[in-house]
Amino acid sequence: MKKLTLLLLTTLTLAAQATTAVALDVKLTPEKESLEVKHQGKSIKIERNQDETNVIDSSWGKTSRKCPPFCPQPVNIAPGVKIAGELEVFDFMENHVNKGTGLLIDARVESWHNKGTIPGSINIPFTEFERKTGPELDHIMKLVGAKPRSNVGMVEATWDKTLRTIGVDPKRQGFWDFNEVKEVMLWCNGPWCGQSPHAIKGLLSLGFPAEKIHYYRGGMQMWLIMGLPVIKPE
């Protein structure tokens, strides 16, 4: 009986040890070790690399790139656009991506995206935001929650322009109504990459409200430097 009791206690102890989470030394914040983000219908864990000797690939450690086109990008892309660092990305994942109220947009061309992306991101290359009409633009506008405006004529366009001149934003531009759009956060390869700034300017030119746009300037380079996970799209 004693042997059976001892065996049972040993089994329970080992089971408890197996299910006890090991505390991480390298956390996202002092209070948060990890988080989960939705990506292509799956839940992906976001936590930092625990190897404190780990370094990033040399291709992401380069200090000098030909400028142009690889020039340092401004922090403030346009008035009203929110600037994001890694903590803001974490918050955006939990409070917008996971709840379906926001889109984390990898604005790089497809070849870059296919090498690996930030979990929770969808790929809309910056060139797509240059479109003014067409089914591709219709698809993008549907993703961000913009609605087409019907019967838009000179009177409506003139009225919208008049409202803007007196400081009132009607949240619509041309053929699109942006009153119920999602929050969007755009990123690309890093502080020297112009792809997401270009995409943001394209969105603004379409009339998308600046206060709904977030710019993660650090992009892939800072994401990797922080030891954060990258996922290859399926």
Cβ proximity of 191 and 73 under 8 Å? yes
pLDDT of residue 23: 85
CA atoms within 13 A on the CB side of 58: 0
Q: Which residue has the tokens 């591709």?
A: 136
Question: In the prediction, which pLDDT does 167 show?
Answer: 61
Q: What's residue 217's pLDDT? A: 98
Tokens 């699109």 sit on residue: 176
222: Cα separation from own chain's centroid: 13
pLDDT at 153: 59
Question: In this predicted structure, what is the pLDDT of residue 161?
Answer: 64
Q: Please state, in angstroms and as integers, the Cα–Cα distance from residue 7 to each residue in 16, 131, 220, following that order.
A: 14, 70, 51
CA angle 108/102/122 to nearest 5° reads 30
How many Å apart are CA 120 and CA 122, to the nearest integer?
7
Helices (H), 62-217: 86-92, 110-115, 135-144, 154-165, 195-205
Is beta strand 35-39 parallel, antiparallel or unpaired with respect to 42-46?
antiparallel
Cβ proximity of 93 and 37 under 8 Å: yes
Instruction: Please check whether residue 213 is in contact with residue 31, taking contact to mean a CB–CB distance below 8 angstroms.
Output: no
What pLDDT, on a 0 to 100 scale, did the predictor assign at position 149? 81
**Mean pLDDT for each 10-residue chunk of the chain (234 residues)?**
50 47 88 96 96 93 93 95 98 98 98 97 95 89 90 64 65 76 98 97 92 98 97 89
Task: Pull the structure tokens for residue 74.
Answer: 């401004």
Structural domain spans, the chain: 31-146+181-225
What is the C-alpha separation between 199 and 206, in angstroms, rounded? 11
Please provide the CATH number assigned to the domain covering 31-146+181-225: 3.40.250.10
